[in-house]
Amino acid sequence: MTSVLPYRVGAAADADARTDRPAMPLSVLIVDDSAVARAVIAKVIDQSAEFRVAHSVGTVAAALHVLGDHRVDFILLDLALPGVDGLTALPDLVAAARGARVVVVSSTAIEGAAVTIQALALGAAETVLKPATGDSTSAFGIGLLKKMRRLVEPRPRVDIAPRIAPRPVSTPVSAPAPLQRFEIVAIGASTGGIHALSLLLRALPRSFVTPIVITQHLPGSFMPYFAAQLALLSGRPCDVAVDRLRIRPGRIVLAPGDAHIRGVALPDGGAAVRLTGERVANGCLPSVDPMFASLAAVYGPALLAVVLSGMGRDGVDGAVAVQRAGGCVIVQNEASSVVWGMPGAIAATGIAAAVLDPEALGHLIASGRHP
């Protein structure tokens, strides 16, 4: 085991808050039963400027022991471990991590594989495919560090506590707007969003039948497995969207990995989705913005828009359109987000009616009314 690097506290933590740059390298715990793999990963980490290996262990039990005494910033976790495997241990490791990002580094973390979706749903912030014998360790290292750096990109400065805040209205304070029922829920998410979605959906009772439309930033190969996972978690059917798919009560519609979903009104009073592939300002495909803006045009005040963990600003323009149409926007809070880019950017505009953790958002949605 390598020597322990001190965790950033006191003045160093204050410096971090002011500059968004670590006063010290971010500490990493490697959990892998292969001494060779641990050495390869440690070399990648220690050759970087911003990360350093603090601990390197071979079992989940050893990792939990370390986390009981020390704080780290990242946990690099293999899934094939002796005793308790990494996937089974993920919820316990996330709980013990005290905010550390868990990155799964495994030979089974293939893009689109069911185990990859399960790992993300259980709380992993990212997954990286471990190189096979003969593969380039240089390419692996570049990919690993790129994903780790993205997870610690500077967050927007927003002085806002987790709370339910009043929605901006034009009426006087003495005459607050009445609670409004919503007819559809639209959810946008990116990095860290799969786990947040899992927690939110589990908080919805089976009696909740309002249709849910989701845009989650994922490659297309993930979507069939992700839809199956969402159906299992929510206890309701989940369809990967196809063009002209009707939006129905009791069902979830998921954007495919290669198209935006836009809501359109139907002559009979219902609504359907259209798939489009045009470039949008934020560069995302699929993007949350066109989903929010188009559904706002169809549903107006009856739309509830939700933004969960994710990097970047996708969803901000769409959220403004929702608010202007009389709908409601709620977002995940910083403390529970893997990356507070998307929800933080919306919170910074002041239009978020609620800033809460995913379970609390789920309970709020289950009420069937705008806050």
Beta-carbon contacts of 118 under 8 Å, excluding residues fewer than 6 positions away, are 87, 229
Catalytic residue among 55, 195, 217, 260: 217
Pick the closest to residue 103 from 274, 267, 338 (CA basis): 338
Q: DSSP for 61-77?
A: HHHHHHHHH---SEEEE
Known active-site residue 16: no
- Is residue 45 within 8 A of residue 38, CB to CB? The reply is no
Four-CA torsion 92, 93, 99, 101, nearest 10 degrees: -140
Cα 359 to Cα 199, 247, 261, 297, 347, distances in angstroms = 6, 25, 26, 28, 18
Q: DSSP for 77-102?
A: E-S--SSS-HHHHHHHHHHHTTTPEE
Query: Which 8-state DSSP code applies to residue 346?
Result: H
Beta-carbon contacts of 278 under 8 Å, excluding residues fewer than 6 positions away, are 260
Catalytic residue among 27, 56, 106, 190: 190
Q: Largest alpha-carbon pair distance within the chain?
A: 70
Alpha-carbon torsion (140, 141, 146, 152), positive or negative: positive
Catalytic residue among 32, 73, 78, 314: 314
CA–CA dist 357, 197 (Å, integer): 11
CA–CA dist 247, 235 (Å, integer): 17
Known active-site residue 239: no
Known active-site residue 370: no
Reported as type and span, the H/E element at residue 54 is strand 51-57
CA–CA dist 46, 52 (Å, integer): 5
Reported as type and span, the H/E element at residue 41 is helix 35-46
- What positions carry a catalytic annotation? 190, 217, 314
